[in-house]
Amino acid sequence: MVIGIIAAFSSCDSYNFSKPQPVGKTNIYEFPNELRGKWYVKDESDNQFYYFNKNYVLLVLSDNERIVNGAWPKLDATGKEIPVPAFYKSVETIIYDSLKKPADTVTNYLFNKGLIYEIADSKFLKKGYSFKMEKDTIVVAKNDTICIDLGQNAFLRQLNRNTYMLNIRNSVLGEDASDYSYWWRLVILERKSDNYYNLWECTPKTGELPCRFFAGNSKGNLYYFDCQWTSEEVLRMMNEEYFEVSSEIRKEKD
């Protein structure tokens, strides 16, 4: 996750808006000068950072994923399941029946031309990555860059002198299923000083607002809103815990 802006859009709870917010404000297609540059997330690895340019923001992520070779969970001499070691994944997953006999084996990864691909939901391939073997462990070097361009599907609207709301279409975030891509996500960028910004996101309390007209459930809560918030209303809701700080970013020192 994922952190900061992306965390706000990929968490278990999903807040979807029919219109950009706040109303009555001009769309801004450039990040403010004071935000441009390289920013790190407080209390996170320096391998993860944002780079704000004039018309886009990059989220750069570098990490190693460890995968245990073979099929898991295994059984000990008493028939008790031995799970995959903590913080590891497995190449295959064994599904046991009620008698603790293997009923099925699910393949989690595919290898092709020196790359490893994770298989999602038994049918979709994720991005391929290079890897190396360390005895029975596969170490995957993940280096990803996520780019959000400001334009018709992502733009800022100003709340006050130091605070902006970033509106992003679900389609920009890869949420292309059916008409789901039509909806907007929100994140607030609040300048605290020359070197620090707070990133704000919706909270479960937001789901209690009268402008919410539908809620579903799929690995978390899905909320849908038809709101007409003014800048003043958004700023008030920030004080009333309808939004919360999801992360703090600090500017790279010169």
Q: Is the pLDDT of residue 253 over 70?
A: no
In this prediction the pTM is 0.75
Could you tell me the pLDDT band of residue 234, with boundaries at 50, 70 and 90?
very high
Q: What is the pLDDT of residue 174?
A: 61
Confidence grade of residue 6 (pLDDT, cut at 50, 70, 90): low
Question: 3-class secondary structure for the chain?
Answer: CCCHHHHHHHCCCEEEECCCCCCCCCCECCCCHHHCEEEEECCCCCCEEEEECCCEEEEEEEEEEEEEEEEECEECCCCCEECCCCCCEEEEEEEECCCCCEEEEEECEEEECCEEEEEECCCEEEEEECEEEECCEEEEEEEEEEEEECECCEEEEEEECCEEEEEEEHHHHCCCCHHHHHCEEEEEEEECCCCEEEEEEECHHHHHCCCEEEEEECCCEEEEECCCCCHHHHHHHHHCCCEEEEEEEEECCC
Calculate mean pLDDT across residues 39-43.
86
User: What is the per-residue pLDDT across 60-95, written as a single tens digit (0 to 9) for each?
Assistant: 888 899 999 999 999 999 989 999 999 999 999 999
Per-residue confidence band for 3, with pLDDT thresholds at 50, 70 and 90: very low
pLDDT, residue 9, reads: 45
Q: What is the pLDDT of residues 182-223, one digit of tens each?
A: 899 999 999 999 999 999 999 999 999 999 999 876 555 789
152 in Cβ contact with 160 (< 8 Å): no
pLDDT in tens, 123-173: 889 999 999 999 999 999 888 888 999 999 999 999 999 999 999 998 887
Does the structure show a pLDDT above 60 at 7?
A: no
pLDDT for position 179: 55
